[in-house]
Amino acid sequence: MAQSGSPRYKVVVCRNLGPDVMPLLESRHELELVIWPEDRACNRKWLLENIPGATGVIVMLTDKVDSELLDKAGPSLRTVSTMSVGYEHIDLKAVSKRGLKIGYTPDVLTDAVADLSVMLALMAGRNGGIGYSLVLNGGWPNFSWAPFGLCGPQLSTTVLSPTRKVGFIGFGRISQATLSRLVPFGITHCLYASNPSSPPNLQHDAELQSKYNLKAVLKVDLDELARESDVLIVLAPGGPSTYHVVNEDFLRKMKKTSVLVNTSRGTLVDSDALAKALREGWIWGAGLDVVEGEPNVPKDHPLVKEPKCVIVPHIASATLETRKHMATHAAQNLIAAILGGDMPAQVDLSAFSLIPPC
């Protein structure tokens, strides 16, 4: 502990949080900030060298919080604040054992992810990737217009095809925010599959159906979801229980004109099966913000090679507003955990302390 009048609590900040948010920390003179100075992921060696004696640390998804780091920090450490909604990088058992408070940043990214889900659904259907590449590579002057050239399935209903079913794997906050955005496209049915052990919330579904004037909001099994969905959006947590839920068997059941969107975690979709499905035309297209094994998704990855697969590099929460909000919450979580007050969002370790670290 530092002496009176000088900074009292050492805080390691693994990434500059930007000119809007850093002043929240800098204005707290009780904190002695040690900030990773570069504009790239924090170096592990630097972190291990600087963590001893810290009371708090602000980390990103790229910073592993494990026993080694916690041991180096020593008994002064009270809190780990991550600027992320996920905490796969934090060894929950190890932090729980030490009685640390873990701050994270859920909820604030709901709208940003829903927006990107709509973008990817449109791009996957409307040849957004192929059309963009064609112009970028100088192909437009020789691109001959054809009545059905670069056509794709229409997201909006039409007189000739008045039914559109959107399916969700996982039907939490982000799925429902995405659904609300798809309603004015003329979506008629919303189907979803979620935790098989949870019964459907019939009253909530009926309220949504009425609110959006849909023909159905219905929890269904994966078979029906695959067969019926025109647009299928994967928005469920990762982990063993959802591993490769979209596999060859699932994809073979989908409509030839359907599109698949994944804005949750790469592990839910079997990449090889999806590449085969696109190559052989089982489905129309795919829009992915996440891919299993990312960021190791090189140019010759089977999905990158599929023209009808649109991939963006995990940017679903990447808006100026949302990231600023996440950074603000990360700073506030840390300040509250050290100086007192309510943390905007704290991981409930009582529920997670029994899960073995992975």
Q: Which of residues 195-254 bind its own copies (CB under 8 A)?
A: none
Tokens for 47, please give them.
């972190």
Q: In the range 322-341, which residues lie near its own copies by CB under 8 A?
A: 322-327
Q: Is 188 in the site for its own copies (CB under 8 A)?
A: no
Tell me whether residue 314 is one of the annotated catalytic residues.
yes
Which residue in the list 189, 244, 301, 314 is annotated as catalytic?
314
Q: Are 271 and 303 in contact, with CB atoms under 8 Å apart? A: yes
| Angle of the 110-125 helix axis to the 173-182 helix axis, nearest 10 | 50
- Of the two residues 136 and 351, which places its CB atom closer to its own copies in the complex? 136
Dihedral, 23, 24, 25, 28 alpha carbons, nearest 10: 100
Q: Which two tokens stand for residue 253?
A: 């059941």
The minimum distance between CB 356 and its own copies, in angstroms, equals 26
| DSSP H or E segment with residue 96 | helix 92-97
According to CB under 8 A, which one of 11, 12, 17, 277 is a site residue for its own copies? Answer: 17
- Tokens standing for 106? 């859920």
37-63 in b/e form (b: 16+ CB < 10 A) is eeeeebeeeebeebbebbbbbbbbbeb
Which residues in the 65-84 window bind its own copies by CB under 8 A? 83
Candidates 142-150, 168-176, 193-201, 335-343; binding stretch for its own copies (CB under 8 A): 142-150
Residue 304 makes contact with its own copies by CB under 8 A: yes
Query: Using CB under 8 A, which of 6, 62, 195, 241 touches its own copies?
Result: 62
Q: Which of 75, 295, 340, 356 binds its own copies (CB under 8 A)?
A: 295
Q: Which DSSP letter does residue 246 get?
A: B
Residue nearer to its own copies on the CB measure, 103 or 250: 103
CA 300 to centroid of chain Cα atoms: 24
Segment interacting with its own copies, rule: CB under 8 A, options 28-36, 227-235, 289-297, 348-356: 289-297
Active site residue ranges:
314
